[in-house]
Amino acid sequence: MSNLPVAQLLVEADVAREAAALDATWRDKSGVWGWLCAVEQKTIARRYIITTFLMFLAGGMEAALMRLQLARPENALIGPDRYNQLFTVHGTTMMFLFAVPMMQAMGLYLVPLMVGARSIAFPRLNAFGYWNYVVGVVFLYVSLFINMGPDTGWTAYVPLSGPAYSPGHRVDVWAQVVTFTEISALCGAVNLIVTVFKMRAPGMSLNRIPVFVWAQLVVAFMIVFAMPAVATGSTLMLALDRAVNTHWFNPAEGGDALLWQHIFWFFGHPEVYIIFLPAIGMITPIVETFCRRAVFGYTAMVMANITTAFFAFGLWVHHMFATPIPELGQSLFTAASMVIAVPTGIQIFCWIATLWGGRPRLTVPMLFVLGFLFTFINGGITGVMLASVAFDKEAHDTFFVVAHLHYVLIGGGLMPLFGAFYFWFPKLTGRLLNTALGKLHFWLFVIGTNVTFFPMHILGLNGMPRRIYTYAETTGWGTLNMLATVGALTIALSVLVFLINAVRSWFSGEHAGDNPWDAAGLEWATTSPPPSYNFVHTPVVRSRHPLWETTVEQPVVTGLRSDRREILLTTTFDAQPDSRHVGPDGSIWPLYVALCMGLLFIGSIFSPYSVLAGIGISLIGLFFWGWQSTQDVEVERVALPDGRMVDRL
């Protein structure tokens, strides 16, 4: 008995030595060069989160400027040319440069931790995706500042966005910014799919995956199917129409103006769920943690996610009810649009059932969950209303739709995201966000959102169309618009409170410890912030809530080498240990290739030949990228906790 403390000390010393060795292997190199070559999963994800948040601030400022212009009838603050750029860049930023990448960035940070992996499947591809996204961000905002911002709406309907009615390069900017988002979203999606399927901790069979990880997996597949549609539409057909005078969308030459809308919305409607599903995936761990019980109806929730993803691809025509397409076809899309309310309803009922059986602590993340319910349910109901062809023909393209889509995206996307910030901020930074400021932020945000967007329903039905920079006093829209502007400024204030809270807490917040909420997920099993290698020992999972297991001992995997970036791969269904994989180290080539691709796409606006040049210089980079990541690979035997020996690579 007396030698136990000594053994304990020896074990701890072993762990410390192992940790130091792992850190030496996994850490990105320091210095500017090391910063540029970084591939560490959490480093890239952190940069992603910060950049996308800056995009949220930029998109928000554009919204505030628009609201100031619309506050009074016949206001002379912003002219039509600027205003049209503002609403286009606002939509493009929020959809392509904030919402989708932000949701994915949260996944890129959290998913490997949640499944107990050392890293992400393809770290260099991940870094490439990020740099590629940054090129798109810089491109859009430089264009806006030199008065070359796109001005035909984030939907860029042809023929308005075609060469005849949008000469110059503004729409080209839009088409290529979308390209950058497509590429980085696809990089992230592929990474997440492989990480979830092949890199889960042993024992985390498919039916034990956290709901958030399921949501990210489903969305990654949606991205793989949806993004190619818009890539074909914008990067290929629209860009070709504009650059080399093809006539895909030109009715005068046998093209079809309506074809664009089909292609765009085949992507555009799933896009909403690409934002919404990860967000509601964030709600489940928050509800579970603060009710201190497993979520009610895990299987139903996962199936609801998958069903939503399928139906999301069958609704796109409800954006086109006012076009001359056959009525019988329209009613099919009405029915489909209503059906999709069912899986969402199931999830909401399951959360309420979880709350009902629990004893919820109303922390700031939980407040945002309630804010989500209040705001999103309204957006969902107006969504069902808009599924009706007869009603949609009234409300389509009016402020009613503006109200609806903001209720859905703020309620169903931003509210859960803010909740998630409060919930996972301690994991990312090691410090807690301030609760008092958090509550202030919450109340200002919920009130601001409803004061801004609720009046817009009435404005829309009173005849106010979307995307107008001014309106006459005789329309009678002045009062409600002023109210909406006051609400928008309240939202701006709430975001400012959040910013202050985040910056203050990052530097001087209360220390969080590994698991401040006593949550159940694997991400809380490591330090806050997690080390470069995520876990000293890969954990072994025996239930859906590993950290709520009552046994004292947490089994782990040993035998992975710490002197190289070795990763344990497991089988797709049961997560049985399968083989080992050696991850690549840091490299400059992802950045180089991202810049070359940037030249390719941006150059293509000015000369089609830059595509050839861009491909040429990218190939050089890809050659070195592949060269560097080929490492010495040797077959080796490794012992697993169940005693099996594995020697495949």
CA distance 66 to 89: 11
Cβ distance to other proteins smaller for residue 366 or 525 = 366
Instruction: Establish if 597 lies at the interface with other proteins (CB under 8 A).
Output: no
Minimum Å gap between C-beta 63 and other proteins is 17
Q: Which of 152, 181, 216, 429 binds other proteins (CB under 8 A)?
A: 152
Instruction: Establish if 637 lies at the interface with other proteins (CB under 8 A).
Output: no
Q: Which of 4, 31, 146, 324 binds other proteins (CB under 8 A)?
A: 324
Instruction: Establish if 30 lies at the interface with other proteins (CB under 8 A).
Output: no
CB 79 within 8 A of CB 469: yes
Instruction: Establish if 306 lies at the interface with other proteins (CB under 8 A).
Output: no
Instruction: Establish if 421 lies at the interface with other proteins (CB under 8 A).
Output: no
Angle at CA of residue 321, ends 315 and 325, nearest 5°: 100
Angle at CA of residue 540, ends 539 and 541, nearest 5°: 115
Instruction: Say how many residues touch other proteins, by CB under 8 A.
Output: 86
Specify the stretch interacting with other proteins by CB under 8 A; choose among 50-58, 123-131, 228-236, 356-364: 356-364
Instruction: Establish if 147 lies at the interface with other proteins (CB under 8 A).
Output: no
Minimum Å gap between C-beta 95 and other proteins is 16
Tokens linked to 601: 């796409």
CA distance 256 to 162: 12
Q: Distance from CA of residue 254 to its chain's centroid?
A: 38
Q: Dmax over Cα atoms in the chain, in whole Å?
A: 92
β-strand 638-639 against 645-646: which pairing, if any? Answer: antiparallel
Tokens linked to 202: 């042993």
Q: Is 410 helix (H, G, I), strand (E, B) or coil?
A: helix
Instruction: Establish if 479 lies at the interface with other proteins (CB under 8 A).
Output: no
Instruction: Establish if 357 lies at the interface with other proteins (CB under 8 A).
Output: yes
Q: Distance from CA of residue 65 to its chain's centroid?
A: 25
Site for other proteins in 42-101 (CB under 8 A): 79-81, 84
Q: Where are the beta strands (DSSP E) in 178-270?
A: none
Instruction: Establish if 329 lies at the interface with other proteins (CB under 8 A).
Output: no
Q: Which of 10, 24, 335, 619 binds other proteins (CB under 8 A)?
A: 335
Task: List the alpha helices (DSSP H) in 94-161.
Answer: 100-114, 123-145
CA distance 347 to 367: 18
Cβ distance to other proteins smaller for residue 253 or 642 = 253
Q: Is 151 helix (H, G, I), strand (E, B) or coil?
A: coil
Q: Is 168 helix (H, G, I), strand (E, B) or coil?
A: coil
Minimum Å gap between C-beta 341 and other proteins is 6
Instruction: Establish if 500 lies at the interface with other proteins (CB under 8 A).
Output: no
Cβ distance to other proteins smaller for residue 327 or 553 = 327
Q: Which of 352, 499, 503, 619 binds other proteins (CB under 8 A)?
A: 352
Listing DSSP states for 347-358 in one string gives: HHHHHHHHHHHS
CA distance 614 to 32: 26
Instruction: Establish if 257 lies at the interface with other proteins (CB under 8 A).
Output: yes
Site for other proteins in 266-295 (CB under 8 A): 291-293
Site for other proteins in 160-199 (CB under 8 A): 160, 164-165
CA distance 378 to 384: 10
Specify the stretch interacting with other proteins by CB under 8 A; choose among 100-108, 116-124, 336-344, 488-496: 336-344
Q: Which of 9, 342, 639, 649 binds other proteins (CB under 8 A)?
A: 342
Minimum Å gap between C-beta 472 and other proteins is 8
Site for other proteins in 383-402 (CB under 8 A): 384-385, 387-391, 393-394, 396-398
CA distance 459 to 449: 16
Minimum Å gap between C-beta 145 and other proteins is 20
Tokens linked to 59: 């998109």
- CA proximity to 51, closest of 101, 89, 10: 101
Minimum Å gap between C-beta 59 and other proteins is 18
Minimum Å gap between C-beta 474 and other proteins is 9
